[in-house]
Amino acid sequence: MPKTYAEINERIRTGKVVVVTAEEMIDIVEEEGVKKAAERVDVVTTGTFGPMCSTGAVLNIGHTTPRMKISKAWLNGVPAYGGLAAVDLYIGATEAREDDPLNTPHPGEFRYGGGHVIEGLIAGEDVRLTAQAYGTDCYPRKKLDTWINLKDLNQAYLCNPRNCYQNYGVAVNVNTERDIYTYMGVVKKDLGSASYCSAGQLSPLLNDPYYRTVGIGTRIFLAGTQGMVFWEGTQHCPTTPRGENGVPKGGAGTLAVVGDLKRMSDRFFRGVSFLGYGCSSAVGIGIPIPILDEDMARYTAVKDSEIFAPITDYSYNYGHNEGKPLGLVSYAELKTGSIKVKGRDIPTNPLSSYKKAQEIATLLKDWIASGNFTLQEPIQMLPQADSGLKFKSLRERPVNGGAM
């Protein structure tokens, strides 16, 4: 008998809800079968913690005296975007500090960037704001140099255009001459290592592969507080080929998420530095999946051996946007610490923290079980697998007859 969101929320409010993590659901379905599990379990919690670019924060710093229409701004030396309004700023996670040597010499260390600024704000640290303006009659001030603190800002919210990628590729390096430095970490030469980045069976969108319950308005765990999905994420590609279980065989759906920075925890939001690549941030996300029917029970019982990711050469193919994957590999194989590529055993290393993913799924489970977190039915669904929406590469068009 299918359940409704209202029925599940009523069970949450009355303390009768049965909520388990996606790991626990695997065992329940194995022991009791899909039908019984669907009847007994109301909510399955998921979690993921790993590097997620396309992350940033909107900050309203309050009006200065005299007033100022900020056009250029820096937070601890990291450029922030001031082209939104007078004193609204957007700080992006991948922005490097302006005096960073970047990749000269290679590989650069990128010790501090936008993700670190956001982490510092969440941790309650003072951040130095410097800003410039051209001056107007209504906003005469032209310079600003001050300390700001999260608690004094009017609004501060994480606003991430793309997080929570549904599955992802595995990075290898077929170049026999040199190690490469990527957003998947250091990938060793001559197929010396393979990097992967997903919580697999605990990952949110792998437990709802067709986005039946995750849509716009879905309430989620975001970096230690309650946030929500506000749109499909950039590069959302629901038409990626799928297995019989519905799980995409590579990057597919993404989520745009938002949440109150003032309520977040630096345990679940971290600035990161990738050697030779740049700065970014790691974000903790957990999503509750309501078990509306037997299909949702089946989807949430997905396990690592049933989730496959493409193995991609990052020494040439990825960067040049060509070539085919070297094969598919299951998360169960990846997690053994070694996979076979071209007949060779290659050590694997994760970038996504499974330990943190477990922590998030368990924390979300506790919130729901204690009545502090109810489910929000999506107010609009994400583009679905039959939407025809595909990930497009840029089609370049010659400008001025092709002259550069």
Partner 1 sequence: METRRVVLRFPKQLIDQPITSQLVKNFDLEFNIMRADITEESEGLLVLGLTGKRASLEKGLAWAREQGVHVQPLSKDVVRIERKCTHCGACINVCPTTALTIDLETREVGYNSNRCIACELCVPACPYGAMHIAF
d(CA 279, CA 257): 20
Interaction mask 27-46, partner 1, x per CB under 8 A:
--------------------
CB burial of residue 262 (10 Å; 0-12, 13-18, 19+): middle
Least distance CB 348 / partner 1 (angstroms): 8
- 401: tokens are 């007859």
Least distance CB 49 / partner 1 (angstroms): 7
Question: In angstroms, how far is the first alpha carbon of the chain from the final one?
Answer: 64
Out of 350, 360, 361, 376, name the contact with partner 1 by CB under 8 A.
350
Residues 121-160 that bind partner 1 (CB under 8 A): none
Q: Is 354 in the site for partner 1 (CB under 8 A)?
A: yes
DSSP state for residue 216 in the 8-state scheme = B
Out of 71, 239, 317, 349, name the contact with partner 1 by CB under 8 A.
349
Out of 11, 188, 212, 365, name the contact with partner 1 by CB under 8 A.
188
Residues 243-282 that bind partner 1 (CB under 8 A): 270, 272-275, 280, 282
Out of 193, 213, 300, 374, name the contact with partner 1 by CB under 8 A.
193
Q: Is 303 in the site for partner 1 (CB under 8 A)?
A: no
Q: Is 351 in the site for partner 1 (CB under 8 A)?
A: yes
Q: Is 235 in the site for partner 1 (CB under 8 A)?
A: no
CA distance to 45, 49, 68, 156, 307, per residue, from 224 (Å): 14, 11, 34, 15, 27
DSSP state for residue 382 in the 8-state scheme = P
The answer to whether residue 138 is catalytic is: yes
Count H helices and E strands in the chain, helices first: 6, 24
CA distance to 27, 304, 307, 359, per residue, from 169 (Å): 27, 15, 12, 24
Out of 21, 352, 374, 376, name the contact with partner 1 by CB under 8 A.
352
Q: Which stretch binds partner 1 (CB under 8 A): 2-10, 29-37, 208-216, 329-337?
A: 329-337
Q: Is 298 in the site for partner 1 (CB under 8 A)?
A: no
Rg (CA), the chain: 23
Catalytic residue among 138, 159, 164, 279: 138
Residue ranges with strand state E in 14-71: 19-21, 43-45, 48-51, 56-60
Q: Which stretch binds partner 1 (CB under 8 A): 36-44, 148-156, 239-247, 349-357?
A: 349-357
DSSP codes joined into one string, 249-305: SSS---EEEEEEGGG--TTSEEEEEETTTEEEEEEEEE-EEE--SHHHHHHHT--GG
Out of 236, 303, 356, 365, name the contact with partner 1 by CB under 8 A.
356
Residue carrying the six token digits 């975007």: 81
Residues with a catalytic annotation lie at: 138
What are the residues binding partner 1 (CB under 8 A)?
Answer: 49-51, 107, 109, 111, 185-186, 188, 192-193, 195, 270, 272-275, 280, 282, 335-337, 347, 349-356, 358
